[in-house]
Homo-oligomer: A and B are copies of this chain.
Amino acid sequence: MSANGTQAVDRAAALIALVVQADEPISFTTLVDEAGLAKSTTSRLLAALERAHLLERDAGGAYVAGPLFALYAARHDPWREIGRLARPTLQRVADDTGETVHLAIPRGDTVVQVAQVDTRYVLGTRDWMGVEVPPHTSAQGKVLYAFDALPLPEGELDTPAERSLRTLAELERDLAKARRNGYAVTRDELEPGLSAVAAPVRGRDGNVIAALGVSGPSARIATESDQIGRLLVEQADSLSALLRRRTLKEGAA
């Protein structure tokens, strides 16, 4: 990173980042240590940031994100923001696999897509944002079932394709496998020729809140499902790390 006449702003920004990323009240002294600045400098900068409503002190005098952050959060849907944060991750997966990549979240007892990056192949999946399919026919749905992010279906399962899972027992077996592998797969279970792989994304408190998935023609996906699965788990974990509160240390994007 360059340092061209913005030392003060850079330092102030670093303080903000520490507070926001940690997402729990941080004491003055901790900030001094963590940022490696002189006490006096830190004090002045923090005072300025507080005046600007970028930071705030809680009852105990520790620093937390200020009203400007609250204002932003009050005005914006968290799910859309998760999608926004996930974009670079999706893009990385898209670049690596060349396939269409999605991020999906549970809503009620169904699954909705909140972000998508398209394939570079001509034969790709279409725009799935907002389209609803029976969760047990999609890899993302299976992930959300498997990790308790979505209540299991009751009664008869829809069977839109010949290879769709037909019974709850079959589904349960598949979910157990997903839990073992860390990722879920569907092959020709929604449409013949369409396959998908997905891995779980965990939220602040550690439980699964979303599924990161890749979908495309079985010819390309199904044969590589293991490799794609591992990639997805890795990337989903790094996204989870972003959403989890940061304990220490840094790492840019």
Chain A residues within 8 Å of B, Cβ to Cβ: 1, 4-6, 8-10, 12-14, 16-17, 20-21, 23, 44-45, 47-49, 51-54, 65, 67-78, 81-82, 84-85, 204, 242-243, 245, 253
Contacts and interface: CB of A to CB of B under 8 A. Distances in A.
A166 B214 CA distance: 56
B243 A74 contact: yes
Contact of A48 (B9, B54, B68, B77): B9
Contacts of A73: 69, 72-73, 76, 78, 81
B8 A9 contact: yes
A85 B75 CA distance: 11
* Among A1, A69, A72, A253: residue with most chain B CB under 10 A: A72
A253 B81 CA distance: 27
A72 B68 CA distance: 11
Contacts of A75: 23, 78, 204, 243, 245
B85 A52 contact: no
Nearest to A203: B75
Contacts of A1: 51
Contacts of A14: 52
Contact of A78 (B6, B44, B74, B243): B74
A6 B77 CA distance: 34
B253 A67 contact: yes
A78 B81 CA distance: 11
Contacts of A74: 78, 81-82, 84-85, 243
A4 B44 CA distance: 8
Contacts of A51: 1, 10, 13
Contacts of A243: 71, 74-75
A218 to B, nearest CB: 34
A44 B67 CA distance: 25
Nearest to A1: B51
A227 to B, nearest CB: 29
Contacts of A21: 68, 71
A100 to B, nearest CB: 20
Given A17-B52, A67-B85, A73-B81, A44 B204 contact: no
A13 B6 CA distance: 13
A147 to B, nearest CB: 19
B10 A54 contact: no
A72 B253 CA distance: 16
